[in-house]
Amino acid sequence: MFYGVELKTRLMLGTAQYPSPALLREAIAASGAEVITLSLRREGTGGAAFREIIKRSGCRILPNTAGCHTAREAVTTARMARELFGTDWIKLEVIGHADTLQPDPFALIEAARILCAEGFSVFPYTTENLIVGEKLIEAGCQVLMPWGAPIGSGQGLRNLEGLRAMRAHFPDVPLVIDAGIGAPSQATQAMELGFDAVLLNTAVAKATDPVGMARAFAQAVEAGRLARSSGLMPQRDMAQASTPIFGMAELA
């Protein structure tokens, strides 16, 4: 449940970097995603074909403030996105480091506070830092989107213990892994940890077969969620035989 909206699927898909509009359209359909992200920069360069794909997808649009480096820039971009796309949903990105694209926590919290006060439903791109998460919740965010790894890196979940701690610390807050997912197995792992959804772009858009990869991620997310809800077996330090000793033949 995200800001009162219940989704049937737990994979969110980005719309940048696809080889062609046709492959983007097919990948969205294959993924089963109900939420797709896009930026104002993409809207400005995609042309009529791109806009038609977005319109016909039937998906809920989650505009983002990609490329913003200050709170002021992000807030202005969010306001423009609301006017252009007709939605209060916004994926809030405020980049603080040019190489890792790690979010600036101070500017992120500042922008989140302003946008939440203006009625936006803010999806903040953040790290697994618990204090930053608390401040974002205090600012009015009802969802947190921690990174798995730097954007576009494909490294998966680099800080498993930090992400586990975040899930435990915010048991009732929807958490979405955003950025760094490069393989379906990594998406499954995120869902097995108890995260509510996964948002990715590059792993599908840059695949040799984006449509097949979108389908693979859809199945991976579903598998991870089902595994989590079914009850994963705990890890043990020692082996434990699956066949009982009782009843075995005794040889003289």
Containing structural domain, residue 78: 11-230
pLDDT for the residue 52: 80
pLDDT tens-digit readout, 67-124: 999 999 999 999 999 998 899 999 999 999 888 889 999 999 999 999 999 999 999 9
Q: What is the pLDDT of residue 250?
A: 66
Decide if 94 contacts 108 (C-beta within 8 A).
yes
Q: Which of 199, 200, 189 is nearest to 167 (CA)?
A: 189
Annotated active-site residue 55? The verdict is: no
Does 45 show up as a binding residue in the annotation? no
pLDDT at 141 over 90: yes
User: What are the tens digits of pLDDT across the range 32-79?
Assistant: 999 999 987 655 555 667 778 888 888 999 999 999 999 999 999 999
The letter for the amino acid at 128 is E
Indicate which CATH number applies to the domain containing 119: 3.20.20.70
Residue 85's CB: how many other CB atoms inside 10 A?
Answer: 17
| CB proximity list for 252: less than 8 A, separation 6 or greater | none
Residue 251: pLDDT band (50, 70, 90) is low
Q: Is residue 240 part of a domain?
A: no
Give domain status of residue 243, yes or no. no
Q: End-to-end CA distance of the chain, in Å? A: 64
Residue 249 predicted with pLDDT over 70 = no
Using the predicted structure, report yes or no on whether residue 246 has a pLDDT greater than 80.
no
Can you give the pLDDT at residue 252? 60
DSSP letters, the chain, are -BTTB--S--EEEE-SS-S-HHHHHHHHHHHT-SEEEEEHHHHHHHHHHHHHHHHHH-PEEEEE-TT--SHHHHHHHHHHHHHHH--SEEEE--B--TTT--B-HHHHHHHHHHHHHTT-EEEEEE-S-HHHHHHHHHHT-S-BEE-SSSTT-----S-HHHHHHHHHH-TTS-BEEES---SHHHHHHHHHTT-SEEEESHHHHTSSSHHHHHHHHHHHHHHHHHHHHH-PPPP-SS---SS-STTPPPP-
Q: Model confidence at 163, in pLDDT bands (50, 70, 90)?
A: very high
Asked if residue 202 belongs to a known ligand binding site, the reply is yes
Separation of alpha carbons 97 and 152, rounded Å: 14
Q: What is the pTM of this model?
A: 0.90
- Domain contains 149: yes
**Catalytic option among 8, 55, 91, 135:** 91
* Structure confidence by residue, pLDDT tens digits, 178-232: 999 999 999 999 999 999 999 999 999 999 999 999 999 999 999 999 999 999 8
Total domains in the fold of the chain: 1
Q: Which residues are bridge partners to 172 per DSSP?
A: none
Determine, yes or no, domain membership for 2: no
Note whether residue 115 is domain-resident.
yes
How deeply is 248 buried, as exposed, middle or buried, from its count of CB atoms within 10 A (0-12, 13-18, 19+)?
Answer: exposed
Task: With cut-offs at 50, 70 and 90, classify the pLDDT of residue 156.
Answer: very high
In a domain, 244, yes or no: no
Is 179 labelled as part of a ligand binding site?
Answer: yes
Contact between 177 and 198 under an 8 Å Cβ cutoff? The reply is: yes
Residue 22 included in any domain: yes
152 is in an annotated binding site: yes
Q: Is residue 248 part of a domain?
A: no
Q: Is 119 annotated as a binding residue?
A: no
Say if residues 92 and 111 touch (Cβ distance below 8 Å). yes
